[in-house]
A and B are shown apart, each in its own frame.
Chain A
């Protein structure tokens, strides 16, 4: 199993970081988040499509770059750092991984190339975003693939061309494909805390779905792990950006005739924060390597998700607190990262849920 990034992976990070710094500055993020769509289609086409980021983890045979969880994590981390707005998480991380892990061969061959090239925007419909054990509680499928039920929050559903749906049929959980505009499919954008990640309620009223695979417990767990690991990477990028800008601020802000960063109360908080982020970062990179190799702790992704979420929220809280009043204003950028941190903390399971999940894997249910 890998323990360090390869030169190619390091290069990928550098290239992606440079492109995002260029294309996704905070001013652009503010502009995009205020729109209904939430992002700039041309920029997404360029990065997701032309640069190949939407298919970074998709096998070459299905039109992707042939990377895996590690490469996906690198891209997610850099996107979290710049708070990139675009359907990367919904389409590549959620729908892409669902197709890779659970779709039958023919469906993969047919659907993945569009997602990988960015020409098709996918999303994954899960009727529970807290825990894999709750999935399938609301959205049902008949034996002929007719879908009914509601998913309360679906990431980027308002722009999706392809809905990959996990629904409960009589035989168990199955994977279904639905195209946008299908009869009986209703999408209602919801008011969200984090304006850089749009959510919609998706209702199926006897919608014709295409059965494309079965989702057994093991598959759903692996899918959940892949998504959680990618989200952990996003949070690490987010946390490091928050941390770096906050430390810089304490060096520039003067009170009582000294930079506030010279006060131990702030220095010690920053040192503790660095430790928390470094530990979470190590766990996060480790989780992707475990998933790529199929080795290591079976609960590696849950460790990463729990630790990254806590570290990211610590960085977000410190980011506001150490800036004082200015940090609480809309004009200051810190709240954008704070809100992403809060949203990511609870998407796909709170830290407490992931900690219980890891204990169950380690020691069995309580």
Chain B
């Protein structure tokens, strides 16, 4: 379908159906029935089988007309994409609809205190007892887990096989006595994540996804969605400016809750945009040493953007070369953030000791200085990215491994 035709069809449908005085869920039920909630999904599951470009056209029309879309923000997108890719028809029937309407929120239960970079070394147990899976263990870095209805859980179901083979993937009901989410406070004072403790939590057999022992494959599916720019979409976009009508209030509240964990994310990227204004305001712009560091930052920032644009253009043109854009882009973001933090420190001088509203840039600079350490850890540490780049892009040989053989024989954290 051409963009123009899509435009006409969706506009006509909205003309007939969109009203600002409906309750949020009711509107999304209508949106779902009309087939415009998730156009890139297959036709048998609420979609139209659109390409990403075609879906963008629909999103554009929604934005132009200030129409509230299906629920998208937060980890629920990871859940729906994973269930679509690996779930049974029964799971799709039960879970996809309330994700789109926004009735259910989700969280991801992957990392553990004992397995960070080495996710496949996880040790949360799932054991079959009387036809039910009984879960025991602890997860960490779980965004939105404190209000989530369901969790994407990876757990170990077999300790006698090599570590990647003994993992299974479950859809966990978070609203049960055996599941407890506790907020985790970060070094920058924010609480964006939780720890989740599972003590004899129960999962019914129909909520195992992708088959027993196949969890690593399903987890990689989730992670690939996460890497494919999902993290950018996850933060969501508010409709421009305040809108009149009851549905907007409900929608804004949903967005506020879902995006709350991400408010400090611009700071962890270093706030390059504040560097020149701060340098002018403080007079540091006249200091030769600071000028050198600002120039280095501008080179890094501009060059990384150009390199990523060019990789994107080549990918769109169908290039088959191995484009290291993902890992390189992530490593570049770390380098840029660290250099920005360094420059902000030079500019502020002793004032960098202060935080809060009467410190530099309304406290933003202070938040930058204590948030930047996160960027080289979250979503895979710089060290892991360097392994990926050197092995997959440069073809350097893998190192010695001490985690072959049955999982139960591998040395682990106490």
Contacts and interface: CB of A to CB of B under 8 A. Distances in A.
Contacts of A190: none
A251 interface: yes
A320 to B, nearest CB: 19
A282 B393 CA distance: 18
Interface string B288-305: 100110111011101110
- Describe B's contact surface by its main secondary structure: helix
A281 B291 contact: no
A286 B301 CA distance: 13
Given A263-B399, A279-B299, A352-B292, A4 B310 contact: yes
A247 B303 contact: no
Given A261-B396, A306-B299, A275 B332 contact: yes
A297 to B, nearest CB: 7
Interface of A: 3-4, 247, 250-251, 258-259, 261-264, 266-268, 270-272, 274-275, 278-283, 285-286, 297, 303, 306-307, 352, 355-356, 358-359, 362-363, 366
B307 A264 contact: no
Contact of B303 (A258, A283, A356, A359): A283
Nearest to B288: A366
B348 interface: no
A359 B295 contact: yes
Q: Which of B396, B397, B398 has the most CB of A within 10 A?
A: B396
A270 B396 contact: yes
B2 to A, nearest CB: 26
A3 B314 CA distance: 11
14 contacts: A4-B310, A250-B396, A251-B397, A264-B387, A266-B396, A270-B394, A279-B307, A281-B307, A282-B307, A352-B292, A355-B291, A355-B292, A363-B279, A366-B287
A3 B304 CA distance: 14
Given A282-B303, A356-B295, 7 more contacts: A3-B309, A247-B396, A270-B390, A274-B389, A286-B303, A303-B299, A359-B295
B298 A358 contact: yes
Contacts of A355: 291-292, 295-296, 299
A351 to B, nearest CB: 9
B390 A359 contact: no
B399 A247 contact: no
Given A278-B328, A282-B307, A303-B303, A358 B397 contact: no
A262 B387 CA distance: 10
A285 B309 CA distance: 13
A247 B276 CA distance: 38
A15 B349 CA distance: 54
Contact of A279 (B280, B303, B317, B387): B303
Contacts of A358: 295, 298
A268 B390 contact: yes
A4 B295 CA distance: 25
A267 B306 contact: no
B123 interface: no
Closest 7 CB pairs of A and B: A355-B295, A279-B303, A267-B390, A271-B386, A282-B306, A282-B307, A271-B389
